[in-house]
């Protein structure tokens, strides 16, 4: 099972909005509405930001939003803050083995 | 509150096996599946497998078929991940994570570092 495809890095200035893409296939993202997004700060464990494509767990800022179109999903962060600088991972349910992660995207806040 | 507490770091030699435990508290253990995810140094998250804690059914990533086994002890609210035939490429932090529903992992253990070196 190949990893989902994410850009290696993205950047933005404080207050701006950025979008991170996550591309899969019809066997994973395109076939199910089970896309999740995680934030991971250096040396820390992952934190769930989005599940079921666009739902946020309680306590997660509404600056984080998710969407999906076809075989691709996106995470948008609005009103960028310095604390958003981290690695971001998408994941999806997949028909073959159950779960697959993306390669990860490093967000730099300029 | 929900907590997943994992066993401590273990240094292993190539060819050996490692068993990592994950003790859950703060919720009904059998109501949520548990997944295992690993992260090699500087690398991406990699899903290894999961266990249905209600009935013990498991499913593993093809990347680990034959080398990984996930079990659980419902009386102890604890899940275990055993990885055998270790090689240097298995050096990683291993996490357990609770399935919050719809394959979103809402709670994670603190991670267990397993260096594999001769």
User: Mind listing the pLDDT tens digit for each residue in B30-63?
Assistant: 999 999 999 999 999 999 999 999 999 999 999 9
> Which of A51, A57, A101 is nearest residue B47 as measured by Cβ atoms?
A101
Q: Report the C-alpha gap between A72 and A25 in whole angstroms.
A: 8
Mean pLDDT of A35-49: 96
B45 and A96 within 8 Å at the Cβ level: the answer is no
pLDDT of residue B65: 74
Share of chain B above pLDDT 70, in %: 100
- Tell whether the model's pLDDT for residue A88 goes beyond 80: yes
pLDDT digits (tens, 9 = 90+) for B95-116: 999 998 788 999 999 999 999 9
Share of chain A above pLDDT 90, in %: 94
- Select the residue from B3, B32, B34, B47 to test the A interface by mutation, using most A Cβ atoms within 10 A: B47
- Tell whether the model's pLDDT for residue A39 goes beyond 70: yes
CB B106 within 8 A of CB A57: yes
B45 and A51 within 8 Å at the Cβ level: the answer is no
pLDDT of residue B99: 94
pLDDT digits (tens, 9 = 90+) for A47-65: 999 999 999 999 999 999 9
pLDDT of residue A97: 79
> Which of B45, B60, B103 is nearest residue A93 as measured by Cβ atoms?
B103
Chain B CB within 8 Å of residue A98 CB: yes
pLDDT of residue B103: 84
Mean pLDDT of B7-33: 97
- Tell whether the model's pLDDT for residue A1 goes beyond 70: no
Please give the C-alpha separations between residue B64 and each of A87, B58, B69, B86, in angstroms, as whole numbers: 25, 13, 9, 11
pLDDT of residue A100: 94
Confidence class for position B72, pLDDT limits 50, 70, 90: very high
B44 and A98 within 8 Å at the Cβ level: the answer is no
Mean pLDDT of B84-101: 95
- Select the residue from B45, B50, B100, B113 to test the A interface by mutation, using most A Cβ atoms within 10 A: B45
Q: Which residues of A touch B102 (CB under 8 A)?
A: 33-34, 36, 51-52, 93
Across the A/B interface, how many CB contacts are shorter than 8 Å?
77
């Amino acid at each position: 099972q190949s990893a989902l495809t994410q850009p290696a890095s993205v950047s933005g200035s404080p207050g701006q909005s950025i979008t991170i893409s996550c591309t899969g296939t019809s066997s994973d993202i395109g076939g199910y509405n089970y896309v999740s997004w995680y934030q991971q700060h250096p040396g820390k464990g992952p934190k769930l930001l989005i599940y079921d494509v666009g739902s946020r767990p309680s306590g997660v800022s509404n600056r984080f939003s998710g969407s999906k179109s076809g075989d691709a999903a996106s995470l948008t962060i609005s009103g960028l803050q310095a604390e958003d600088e981290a690695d971001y991972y998408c994941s999806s349910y997949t028909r073959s083995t159950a779960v697959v992660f993306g390669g990860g995207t490093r967000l730099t806040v300029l | 509150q929900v907590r997943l507490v994992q066993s401590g770091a273990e240094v292993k030699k190539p060819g050996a096996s490692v068993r990592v435990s994950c003790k859950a508290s703060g919720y009904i253990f059998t109501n949520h599946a548990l997944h295992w995810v690993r992260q090699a140094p500087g690398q991406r998250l990699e899903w290894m497998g999961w266990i249905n804690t209600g009935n013990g059914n498991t499913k593993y990533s093809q990347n680990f078929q034959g080398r990984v086994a996930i079990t659980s002890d419902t009386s102890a609210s604890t899940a275990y991940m055993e990885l055998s035939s270790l090689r240097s490429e298995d050096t990683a932090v291993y996490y357990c994570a609770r399935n919050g529903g719809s394959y979103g992992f809402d709670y994670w253990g603190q991670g267990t570092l397993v260096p594999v070196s001769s």
